[in-house]
Chains A and B, each alone.
Chain A
Amino acid sequence: MYGNRSLITTTITAVLFILLEVCSALLIVNNGIIQRLKAVGYIHDVQSFFWEKEADLTRFLSYKSDNQALSEENVRLKNIISKYRYRAEKMDSILFAPENGGYFYIGARVVRNVINSQHNYLVLNKGEADGVQKGMGVVTPIGVVGIVENTTKNYCTVISFLNSSQNVSVKLTGSGMFGPMSWDGISTSGSILRGIPAYVEVAAGDSLVTSGYSVIYPPEIPVGTVRNTTVADGLVQNIEIDLFEDFRSLHDVYVVGNGNSEELNQLLKNE
């Protein structure tokens, strides 16, 4: 009982003390110009601190939607670039034979990614309703991912590059020599480029890009760097490659279509 009374008295004293000190502070701020400016400065500092934290929090919470918006913007820009590149190539065709062109991109997210078997595959959240068709390529800015195998209205399955049956035409950026690159079947970041003549000088660290000699993948997509070379049969060398793309952390990809694919396929069939 006595303890409670003491606590109440102490509380009243503390409240009274704080109240009177606050009154004094208010009087100082209201009557002293310099003190007022200083106090306002301190208050603004505190406000700024909290505003900054609030802005950080808001930014953090909006990362998902920002990411989505950026991804859509990326697709839009890629399509614009592709369109202009195609037009430029058409203009050049007055003098040179036309190359594959008219690529368009559809942004997609990986919803399933199997990487532990010899026949790996992916499922993407885009399907026929989004314009995805069987045979389209799937890429990222740092590598090729695979080829669309099957489509439903809203989803598609992709045969991953990490598949023994997959080949991608790539070229060495230095010499321009090209050949088929396939998965090494061992790791998620290793592949082999075969058929490069033995006389071609290849050094570790040389980079490789897609050749563009394909209806599926656009040219000049960086895919990896040379790790090691071995001469096979005395005539050609097999080049071990470190892929740029990390298939274990694949999230956002682009399904890439070729507006001229039907025409090209028809032509190739006739030959």
Chain B
Amino acid sequence: MNSKFHTVVMITLVIIFQLMVNNFINPGPYIFISLVPFAISLMPRSTPINLTILLCFAIGLTVDIFSRGVIGVNAAAATALSVLRAPIYRLTISRDRQDITPNPEIRQCGFAKYLAYISIACLSYMFIYCSLESMGVRSVLFFIPQFLISSAASVILSCCFSLTVSSQQ
């Protein structure tokens, strides 16, 4: 119970931080920092898939509603990531460690494996996000830098947050 409460609080804090980044920091058109993949990674792996999908949609929608962007973009990307979460975990984190970690954490999984996990998660999320946001009105020359820079920025920030969360535990 305590662990679940802790997870809910952590996810809420991450979402609040995400909203602050969205609304008060304007790093330019090529950079969109998203902590939604990190927030999704905080959810225990034992969470039923249907509940995971619903929670991810709710997280994405919350970010959409309280941000200035187009409503539905984060919700669509987060819902897609909810389904991709398990395959990405199996792909990046070795089978023997799957049993001992309830969710991917940088200290338990190791930096390289965590980096691989969060990178693929952020790339997947950002690909959907940037595609839906530009949706044929922006050229590939804009889309590719935005997608890559935003993914890199999100990965770096997610790693920093993961280190912070792990040190608190």
Seen from chain A, the residues whose Cβ lies within 8 Å of a Cβ on chain B are 12-13, 16-17, 20-21, 23-32, 34-35, 38-39
Contact = CB atoms under 8 A, between A and B. Distances in A.
Contact of A31 (B57, B70, B76, B82): B70
A7 to B, nearest CB: 14
A31 B75 contact: no
Contacts of A39: 135
B53 A27 contact: no
B76 A38 contact: no
B85 to A, nearest CB: 12
Contact of A24 (B50, B75, B135): B75
A23 B61 CA distance: 10
Given A17-B53, A20-B54, A28-B76, 13 more contacts: A13-B53, A17-B79, A17-B82, A20-B53, A20-B75, A21-B76, A21-B79, A24-B57, A24-B60, A24-B79, A26-B72, A28-B71, A34-B135
A21 B80 contact: yes
A25 B77 CA distance: 10
B137 interface: yes
13 contacts: A13-B53, A16-B53, A20-B53, A20-B79, A23-B75, A25-B76, A28-B71, A30-B71, A31-B72, A32-B72, A32-B135, A35-B70, A38-B137
A23 B70 CA distance: 13
B73 interface: yes
A13 B132 CA distance: 23
Contacts of A31: 70-72
B96 to A, nearest CB: 26
Contacts of B91: none
Contacts of B57: 20, 23-24
Interface in B4-50: 49-50
A31 B67 CA distance: 13
A41 to B, nearest CB: 8
Contacts of B144: none
Report the interface size class on chain B.
20 to 34
A17 to B, nearest CB: 6
A29 B80 CA distance: 18
Contacts of A17: 53, 79, 82-83
B22 to A, nearest CB: 16
Contacts of A13: 49-50, 53
B136 interface: yes
A26 B71 CA distance: 9
Interface in B54-75: 54, 57, 60-61, 64, 70-73, 75
Nearest to B57: A20
- The 5 A-B residue pairs whose C-beta atoms are closest, nearest first, are A27-B72, A24-B76, A32-B70, A28-B72, A31-B71
Contacts of A20: 53-54, 57, 75, 79
Contacts of B136: 38
B80 A27 contact: no
Contacts of B60: 24
Contacts of B76: 21, 24-25, 28
Contact of A35 (B80, B82, B132): B132
Given A34-B135, A38-B135, A16 B54 contact: yes
A28 B70 contact: yes
B131 to A, nearest CB: 11
Contacts of A28: 70-73, 76, 132
Interface in B110-147: 132, 135-137
